């Protein structure tokens, strides 16, 4: 069947039953993060969901949607140059060029309407047809995420792939942390590690917007107090947090966020930061030890993952001491403090 019989258009509420049929097909569920037990009401809710930066397209053939692709344009201020792809095609229509038309349409949006420099995706390592398709469109492998999902009775690994555009001539930072001169090596300081309280909001705000903290995280030095208030007063399900307190001052923060998707319940993302005045004083180690005890002995997590700028060697060393392994490098991952930064994606995986 010729590919010119296929129409690529935005998703429509009338596509609900076709999308549900595709999403729950065992061959599709296997290569996505769906479950074959997903109910139609879940698809309906997803169909009517609105999300900033979401561009959803379907492939229509003979009045039936037989393929789907999404381009998610990242909305965080320091990631707006990038986006991610996710797609699937009904197995009855594999091999007819539908995937190629969907990817081409999504990349047209990325290139000619959003001017994205980086488009990334994740694909199971044994999905050879998808890998061939993505390589054809210029996607390159950046690393492998181990035990990212469970399905059909086995653990699955993901390839992280990305396609860069318009980065020729741009330089990625490779310097060391911007740490002030110290007369001598700092001595370790014992901190009180506890969950955050409402009275911590002002001090957490000062920590989050510190230029050196913002540089090595995804924060902005311009964030307002109300943003920090919302983070503390409205915690998300699966989110566990601690702060480090020294002499009644909040000097560090760490969190893990467990995945809400059933096939990823075993995994969580980690983020942390320490006041630069307390760098080198073992605050990060104390925070990490506390949250890993929670992960191992209370949540029974198998995988904890994080991202860290490659020009943050102190952070990398801390994570490696805690059992995290570099799985790959996201190129041109973020922009901030006047420089482009690559980021390692790292994980600690328990057998």
- The pLDDT, as a whole number, for residue 3 is 59
Q: Are residues 216 and 96 in the same domain?
A: no
Cα separation, 345 vs 348, in Å, equals: 11
CA-CA distance, 193 to 245, in Å (whole number)? 6
Distance CA(288)–CA(319), nearest Å, equals: 9
Total residue length of the chain:
351
Whether residues 206 and 338 fall in one domain: yes
Confidence of residue 173 (pLDDT cuts 50, 70, 90): confident
Q: Kind of pairing, strands 339-349 and 325-336?
A: antiparallel
At 252-296, the pLDDT tens digits run 999 999 999 999 999 999 999 999 999 999 999 999 999 999 999
pLDDT for 186 equals 87
The reply to whether 187 falls in a domain is no
Measured in whole angstroms, the distance separating CA 32 from the mean position of its chain's CA atoms is: 16
- Asked if residue 252 and residue 125 are part of one domain, the reply reads no
Predicted local distance difference test score (pLDDT) of residue 236: 85
Residue 183 has pLDDT above 80, yes or no: no
- In terms of domains, do 110 and 256 share one? no
* 205 lies in the same domain as 160: no
| Angstrom distance (rounded) from CA 56 to CA 11 | 6
Is the pLDDT at 188 greater than 80, yes or no?
yes
pLDDT tens for 283-292 read: 999 999 999 9
Q: Which domain holds residue 334?
A: 192-349
Q: Is residue 105 part of a domain?
A: yes
pLDDT at 179: 46
pLDDT over 50 at 164, yes or no: yes
Residue 63 counted as domain residue: yes
The pTM for the full model equals 0.93
Q: Identify the domain boundary among 125, 146, 164.
A: 164
Whether residue 341 sits in one domain with residue 205: yes
Q: Are residues 111 and 202 in the same domain?
A: no
pLDDT band at 233 (very low <50, low <70, confident <90, very high): confident
pLDDT at 157 over 80: yes
Q: How many domains does the chain have?
A: 2
Q: Is residue 101 part of a domain?
A: yes
Find the mean pLDDT for residues 108-122. Answer: 98
Residues 37 and 138 in one domain: yes
Residues above pLDDT 90, as percent of the chain: 90
Looking at residue 299, its pLDDT comes to: 97
Residue 246 lies in a domain: yes
- Render the burial of 74-101: b for 16+ CB within 10 Å, e for the rest: beeebbebbbbbbbbbbeebeebbbbeb
3-state SS, the chain, equals CCHHHCEEEECCHHHHHHHHHHHCCHHHHHCCCCCCCCCHHHHHHHHCCCCCCEEEEEEEECCEEEEEEEEEECCCHHHCCEEEEEEEECHHHCCCCHHHHHHHHHHHHHHHCCCCCEEEEEEECCCHHHHHHHHHCCCEEEEEEEEEEEECCEEEEEEEEEEECCCCCCCECCCCCCCCCCCCCCCCCCCEEECCCHHHHHHHHHHHCCHHHHHCCCCCCCCCHHHHHHHHHCCCCCEEEEEEEECCEEEEEEEEEECCCHHHCCEEEEEEEECHHHCCCCHHHHHHHHHHHHHHHCCCCCEEEEEEECCCHHHHHHHHHCCCEEEEEEEEEEEECCEEEEEEEEEEECC
Whether 343 and 202 map to the same domain: the answer is yes
Average pLDDT over residues 74-90: 97
Regarding whether 151 and 228 lie in a shared domain, the answer is: no
User: Would 340 be classed as within a structural domain?
Assistant: yes
- pLDDT(57) > 90: yes
The reply to whether 114 and 200 lie within a common domain is: no
| CATH code of residue 204 | 3.40.630.30
Assess if residue 174 is contained within a domain: no
Please indicate, yes or no, if residue 169 is contained in any of the structural domains: no
pLDDT at 283: 98
Same domain, residue pair 158 and 234? no
Inform me whether the pLDDT recorded for 302 exceeds 60.
yes
């Amino acid at each position: 069947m010729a590919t010119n019989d296929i129409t690529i258009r935005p998703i429509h509420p009338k596509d609900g039953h076709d999308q549900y049929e595709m999403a729950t097909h065992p061959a599709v569920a296997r290569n996505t993060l769906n479950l074959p037990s997903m109910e139609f009401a879940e698809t309906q809710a997803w169909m009517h969901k609105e999300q900033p930066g979401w561009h959803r397209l379907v492939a229509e053939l003979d009045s039936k949607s037989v393929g789907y692709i999404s381009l998610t344009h990242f909305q965080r201020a320091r990631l707006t140059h990038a986006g991610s792809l996710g797609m699937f095609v009904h197995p009855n229509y594999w091999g007819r060029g539908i995937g190629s038309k969907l990817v081409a349409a999504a990349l047209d949006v990325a290139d000619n309407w959003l001017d994205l420099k980086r488009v990334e995706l994740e694909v199971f390592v044994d999905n050879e047809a998808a890998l061939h398709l993505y390589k054809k469109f210029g996607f390159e492998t950046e690393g492998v995420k181990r035990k990212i999902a469970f399905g059909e009775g086995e653990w699955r690994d993901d390839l992280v792939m990305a396609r860069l555009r318009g980065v020729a001539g741009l330089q990625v930072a490779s310097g060391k942390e911007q740490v002030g001169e110290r007369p001598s090596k700092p001595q370790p300081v014992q901190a009180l590690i506890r969950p955050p309280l409402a009275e911590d909001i002002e001090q957490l705000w000062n920590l989050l917007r510190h230029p050196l903290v913002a540089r090595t995280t995804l924060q902005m030095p311009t964030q307002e107090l109300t943003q920090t208030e919302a983070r503390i007063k409205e915690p998300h399900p699966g989110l566990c947090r601690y702060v480090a307190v020294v002499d009644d001052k909040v000097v560090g923060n760490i969190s893990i966020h467990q995945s809400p998707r059933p096939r990823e319940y075993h995994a969580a993302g980690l983020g942390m930061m320490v006041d630069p005045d307390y760098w080198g004083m073992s605050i990060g180690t104390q925070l990490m030890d506390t949250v890993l005890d929670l992960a191992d002995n209370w949540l029974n997590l198998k995988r904890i993952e994080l991202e860290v700028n490659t020009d943050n060697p102190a952070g990398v060393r801390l994570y490696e001491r805690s059992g995290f392994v570099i799985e790959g490098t996201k190129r041109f991952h973020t922009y901030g403090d006047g420089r482009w930064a690559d980021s390692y994606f790292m994980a600690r995986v328990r057998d």
